[in-house]
Structure formats: structure tokens, C-alpha cells
Structure 1
Amino acid sequence: MNKFESYDYLKVTVEETRLSHYIDGYECFGWKLDPNIPLEVNGGKAVVHFKRSRAILNKVELTRLQSHFEACQRDLEALEGSAVSLATSAGIGAGILGCAFVAGAVFAVTAETPIIWLMILLAIPGFILWGAAYPIYKYVKMKRMEKVESLMEAKLDESEEVCKKGHALL
């Protein structure tokens, strides 16, 4: 004879690259992958369905720890995003500045009396800035990741501690 058991259900959308971390983390709070609903992956995002027994002990404390875990994950994503957004801004800024130089060169050459020396003087840094936009992006991203790496490690350690506490309550 089977014993009746009811479940709580949870649907989480996460970055595909962080999927394993989320699955491992939620299991520490009593959640199991729902075998009845397949994993959905679309456009770099994954939708995961979990279920957990409603009769689980320490539910309130597990929920509090789960919220802490989710906050740590959001902080990690924000730290990663800060490196990309700063680098993108630097690369775009270099490209726009290059456009301004090239525009000045165009105005210099299309003037009533073309000023060839000014056109050359403005075009060269414009083309250099256009070409440097991507290397600037890569360099700024690398430098920012070096700065955020220690912060990310601290958040991962904090997340691990929260998962240990949750697992101990099960």
C-alpha cells in the first residue's frame, strides 16, 4: 500500500551556464527535480521544475535559507554582469569617439575649400579608435573580472555555507 504524500512545487528560470549550481543548491533545501516535467532550455535560459514534500520538517528555516541562497546567486550574476557592462561601455565609447574623429575628417574634406591635412589628422585617430574598440572591451573586461573575482569567491563560499546549513536541516 502506497502512503499518500503531497508536494510543493517550484518553477525557477536560470542562466543555462549556472544550471548545475542551482539544481545542486535547491536540493540542499529539500527540492528534487520534478520527473514529470522536462527541463526547458531556450535562448541561454533554462526553466527548471522542482517539487518538495509538504510534510518536510523545518520548512520555515529552509525557506529562509533558500532565500539567502537565491540572494547570493543574484549577487553573483550582478558581479558577472558588472564586468560585461563596464567593458561594453568602454568599447562603445571608443567606437563613438572614433566616429566623432571620422565625422570631423569628413567635414574637413567636404568643406568649401578642402583641408586635406586636417582630414588626415582627424581620420587617423578615428580609424585607430574604431580598431581599438574590441581590444579595449577585452582589456576592461579582464581587469574588471580580476577585481570581482575575490568578491565572487566570497559569495560562492557564502552560498556553500547556506547550502550546508540547509542540508543539515533535512
Structure 2
Amino acid sequence: MVDKNKPQEKRGGWLSRFAPGVRKIVSRRDTPDNLWVKDPDSGEMLYRSDLEAALWVTPSGRHMRIDAPTRLKATFDGGVFQAIDTPDVPEDPLKFSDGKSYKDRLSAARKASGRKDTMAIGYGVVGGQDAVVIVQDFTFMGGSLGMAAGEAFIKAAREAVSRKVPMICFTAP
């Protein structure tokens, strides 16, 4: 029979006294949130560095989206290229809004990506041949084509013509 006047020992005995120390040791470690990537086709978890080494092609054969800097580095021989600045243009001459102003969306995308716009241009050697490469980056506002993207495309084309080299264009999927 249990004496109600006597203090009861905590349930679990020695294990409950031992568990807090174990919890400290076994607690979640500071691991990067992006260490693993899920293959959208097979559901398999892929180690990010293995996926990067495979140029973002999964074992199931899917070509994953990559950002502009990664695409440029993968395209140019040895990953070496000269970045070409995109032209500055008016941010929102039409004063476009769809619940949120275009200017606000643009500002948020710039802050999140650290990039000026969806297009990136580079000059270097591709397969032993000098070339100008322009990449549309889906991670920047879904690859939205605004005035800046058009001006960047024109600049890349002019750059290729003036250097007498081919221009390669990668569009966002």
C-alpha cells in the first residue's frame, strides 16, 4: 500500500536521473539544413556534395535546377571566367503591382539571392573556344523576364559580337 504522506520517488528511477545528461550529449547537432537533397523522382535522400560532383544530375537521371553562378562555373573550362556586369535599368517603369509591388518583390529577391537580377553573364573558354555565356537564374523570382533581363541579353549579344565569339544562352527551366 502507498503511504500518501511519504514523498514519492520520481517514476523511472535511475534512468530518469540519468536521461538529462544523455539528452545533452545526444541532442541535435549543428548540422547544415542543406546537407541532404531529396530526389523528386525516387524519393531517395542524396548527399549534397555527391549531387554537386554529378553536376546536379540525380542517380535517377533528373537534371536538378542550379543557380546562375553554379551554371557558369560548370560551363567554363576549369570553372574560370570573367563576370560581365549587367546594365542598370529603371526598376519599375510601369509601376506594376499584383497585391505586392514589383519593386518590393525585386528588393526581396535581391536580398535573398545577393544578386542584382535573374541574368548573369560571363566570358571565358568553353571546350577550348572563347565564348560569352548568359544564364537565366530560376532562383531569382522564378526567372522572371523584366527590362533588366532583356538589357542583359542585349549586352551579352553585343559583347559576343564585339569579341567575335559565340554566345551561349541557358534559360531557366
Q: How does the TM-score come out when normalised to structure 2?
A: 0.23
Higher RCO by CA contacts (8 Å cutoff, separation 6 or greater): 1
Q: How does the TM-score come out when normalised to structure 1?
A: 0.23
Give the number of the structure whose residues are more often helix, by fraction: 1
